[in-house]
Amino acid sequence: MRKALPTSLCLILAFIYVNGDIYMHNPRGSNNRLNENSKTRKNNNRIFDSQNNNNGGYNVGDATSTPAGLDANKQYQMKYFQSGPNATDVSIMSIEWTHQHGCGAGRQNPKLNCNVVIQYMCQPNDKTVRETDRFRDGVTTQSQPYDPKAEKSQAQSDRGLHENWEWYKRCVNRENNPNLFIAARKPRKRNRKRCKSISCRKDLFLADQRIRGDKSATKTRQNRNGKRSGYECAEERDYYPYWHPTPWIDIAVLSETAKDCQTYYNQSFNKRSYGECIEKVGNKFTRLSKWNNKTKCEENKGTWQAFHNFLERAPDYTTEEKCMEAAKSQGINYFWGLPADTKNPEKFECLVSLPNVICKPAPYTRVNHLGNTRSGQTNSFDWKIPYFPSMKEQRCILRIRYNISTDDPENKIKNDPTFNFANVPLKLAINTAQFGRTFQDRSHVFILKRRTPEMKGKLFNLNVRGKRGNIVQVYPAVEYDFVPNKLILNSTDMVHIQWTGSNTNNRNNAGEGTAGTDRNNFLEMLALGRSYPLDFDKMKLCSNSEVVWSHTKKPNISQEDLAINLASSGYYADMKSVAKKKQMNSVLNNAPASYEGVVLRIKKRGFYYYMCTRNNNFSNRSQKGTLIVIN
């Protein structure tokens, strides 16, 4: 039996019987939640199949102090600045998550095999993207509709959308891996000659699970009945690396062992092409073929076409010659290829290439413990947000998948087998539906903005994780904290302070202020062990900071204006507005749930401690952080 994410193919994963699990805390993982005011999410299959506990996930952000309701314009999408064209102009997002079953034993007496795969996908945030394909969080918890007889997208604007209708249509039409069905009919003898090719699928783990019904790629060992989750393709979800073109871009694979990394570099869709069968219907070519491999495709008069993944298009360069000339003159990694998302499989385009997937050993976490790593910190990965040469604003989604499996040989795994020990029968508690699993979480939609001319150098994102309630009430989510809550930077670096929150959390959860609401603010304090912020005239952070950018769009922001803006979550744009606006509630009830924030450059060395006044309930429920400027 192959291990999870093995040397050539990811193990397929299993079924839905346990509450298990991965939860993303920054950026906030939805776990298919939208704006429910209940402890549980309403629709497990709203956009994707998470396999997670129904209590997990965070609501989409609200832009104001009232729920967005049916108005998508009143939702808040987090906004991060892209990296710049120079190697030193990087923007860093700290991705944080917890998973239940543990990982990272480094093959030294592990209880399971595991991998974590982090991916994203983006599209231009403009009218070049069809409305039916536009990423959105939606305003209703209903899933997108699907009619197999329809010939064009049925996507509705009020429902969440990640993958598009055409992607799911190709998945429905395409046959699943044939070995799934062969093994379902009769046991397969173990092949002594292990196939090492990514196109060979004789090593997919099945145990005694049965795939039901037709041979669609919507059906896998973990989704035997082909239940639909938004427009996600079940086969692509359950395998990594996938053997067909996929809309997802690889960020990182955190592997059980480092020795697997060369395989991930080689097989990642970031760097190599993957094929799909193209057929001709009348005078037009279509990607809606049933054939899932080159041999069957060509036997049935189709064309096996290689597709490429890419960061973005470069439409100004309309020929291969112009594309290559631009790459040479501009120093940008353009290449000429057939884009993975094309609707015209004859149209090659100039594309921006992707970097290698990052691969490194997974950090150790304890089995059956949604907690920290050995370092005492949450599982995390610092993502260098891409630089888009077009400088177009992007709409994006982040996905994290957690894969687990066992070392047992496939031919021995049966449901509840009996083991004879010295002629004494012992029944083993084995559920083959649990022996290989994939869990998943995804962010809500977020925006990648172009940098302003003043944004030179490294930029760190400082956000807020968690939601309202004590540790028992929010579990498996977490309580409020800053992310990262300890940040070391240089005086030339920048920090973007920003957060989001909901007005429709469970109203029974503990917390300050109006029931069900998230609120945050940011004030300097003397030390982490204190419970009071500093008086204004003793604060150093604002006086030692240059405001590089502000959501207020005002130039020359004074330290007083900066301080009141941070303290009020943007309710007061500056000190003048304190006298003009209705007084802000002392626990921020009438302040916005989300704050687009400010970008600061802290110019003087030192330790700067800060807190949120509303969520400062001491011990595990005190929301505090540290900025350390080292030079």
Reported as a pLDDT band with limits 50, 70 and 90, residue 262 is very high
pLDDT at residue 292, as a whole number: 94
Q: Tell whether the model's pLDDT for residue 4 goes beyond 70.
A: no
Average pLDDT of span 133-143: 98
Question: Has residue 463 got a pLDDT over 90?
Answer: yes
Whether 194 shows a pLDDT value over 70: the answer reads: no
208, 432 contact by CB (below 8 A): yes
Q: How confident is the model at residue 18 (pLDDT cuts 50, 70, 90)?
A: very low
The residue that leads in pLDDT, 193 or 3, is 193
Q: In 3-state terms, what secondary structure has residue 625?
A: strand
Judging by DSSP bridges, how do beta strands 334-337 and 595-602 pair with one another? unpaired
Least confident of 16-30, 149-163, 542-556: 16-30
At residue 179, φ and ψ (nearest 5 deg) are -65, -20
Supply the pLDDT for residue 619. 80
Kindly list the domain boundaries of the chain, sorted by start residue: 22-273+354-442, 452-629
- For residue 2, pLDDT over 50 is answered with no
pLDDT at 102: 87
Instruction: Decide: 96 and 379 in contact? Cβ < 8 Å.
Output: yes
Residue 100 φ then ψ, to 5°: -80, -40
Do the Cβ atoms of 51 and 20 come closer than 8 Å? yes
Going by C-alpha positions, the residue among 525, 566, 572, 567 that lies closest to residue 547 is: 566
Asked whether 326 and 332 are in contact (CB, 8 A), the reply is: yes
Burial status of residue 312 (CB atoms within 10 A of its CB: 0-12, 13-18, 19 or more): middle
Rounded mean pLDDT of 442-447? 98
pLDDT at 369 over 90: no
pLDDT band at 376 (very low <50, low <70, confident <90, very high): confident
pLDDT tens sequence across 333-364: 999 999 999 999 999 999 999 999 999 999 88
- Residue 173 reports pLDDT greater than 90: yes
pLDDT value of position 48: 98
Mean pLDDT estimate for the chain = 90
Strand partners, 26: 96
More confident residue, 370 or 495: 495
Instruction: Give the total residue count for the chain.
Output: 631
Query: What is the Cα–Cα distance from 249 to 399, expressed in whole angstroms?
Result: 10
**Mean per-residue pLDDT, 71-91:** 97
In this prediction, residue 196 carries a pLDDT of 39
Could you say which of 2.60.40.420, 3.40.50.11810, 1.10.238.10, 2.40.30.10 is the CATH number of the domain covering 452-629? 2.60.40.420
pLDDT of amino acid 413:
80
Q: Any idea what DSSP says for residue 258? A: G
pLDDT above 70 coverage of the chain, percent: 91
Degrees to nearest 5, angle at CA 349 with 343 and 352: 110
Residues 500 and 593: beta-carbon distance below 8 Å: yes
How far is 209 from 191, CA to CA, in rounded Å? 19
How many helices (H) and strands (E) the chain has is answered by 9, 28
Higher pLDDT, 202 or 490: 490
| Per-residue pLDDT band at 77 (split at 50, 70, 90) | very high
Q: Determine the average pLDDT of the residues in 584-613.
A: 98
- pLDDT for 14: 32
Q: What integer pLDDT is reported at residue 221 of this predicted model? A: 83
pLDDT at 224: 86
In this prediction, residue 109 has a pLDDT band, given cuts at 50, 70 and 90, of low
**pLDDT band at residue 555 using 50, 70 and 90 as cut-offs:** confident
DSSP 8-state code for residue 132: G
DSSP secondary structure string, 536-574? GGG--TTTTEEEEEETT--SS--HHHHHHHHHTTTSSSS
What is the arithmetic mean of pLDDT over 445-461? 98
Number of Cβ atoms within 10 Å of the Cβ of 19: 14
In this model, does residue 308 exceed pLDDT 60?
yes
Q: Are strands 61-62 and 75-76 parallel, antiparallel or unpaired?
A: antiparallel
Half-sphere exposure (Cβ direction) of 586: Cα atoms closer than 13 Å:
0
Report the pLDDT averaged over residues 372-381.
90
Long-range contacts of 301-304 (CB under 8 A, 24+ apart): 302/277, 302/278, 303/277, 303/278, 303/279, 304/275, 304/276, 304/277, 304/278
